[in-house]
Amino acid sequence: MTVLFICLAGGVGALARFVIDGIVRSRFGRRFPYGTLIINISGTLLLSLLTTLALRGHISAGEKLILGTGFCGGYTTFSTASFETVRLIEERRFFAALFHSLANLCLSAALAAAVLSRS
């Protein structure tokens, strides 16, 4: 039954990503992939918070699997971030590509470390 809930949560996460990316693109345009950056960073924050709750015993391992693996797995996207970085390189926007790659990696890692260091 847990596998079914993970799949459903993954679908909800993917839908949330689609909606949020659309909202961000409509406000900021498509020139820079702000949507993917915001989604990956907020997904890292959510997964870090879920991990903290699980470590403190506030949610079960099953709930962490459903929300973490399912929802966060469907919500965040490494492949789209990679694709968008390559797109920026193909457009010869090297600084934007470097910023996008480093921001996804460094901001997400720093945020996760900050949240988890408090647990």
- pLDDT tens for the chain, 119 residues long, are 899 999 999 999 999 999 999 999 999 999 999 999 999 999 999 999 999 999 999 999 999 999 999 999 999 999 999 999 999 999 999 999 999 999 999 999 999 999 988 86
Which residues have C-beta within 8 Å of that of residue 40, sequence separation ≥ 6?
Answer: 76, 77, 78, 81, 104, 108
Contact 16, 75 (CB under 8 A): yes
pTM recorded for the entire structure = 0.90
| Annotated domain spans of the chain | 2-117
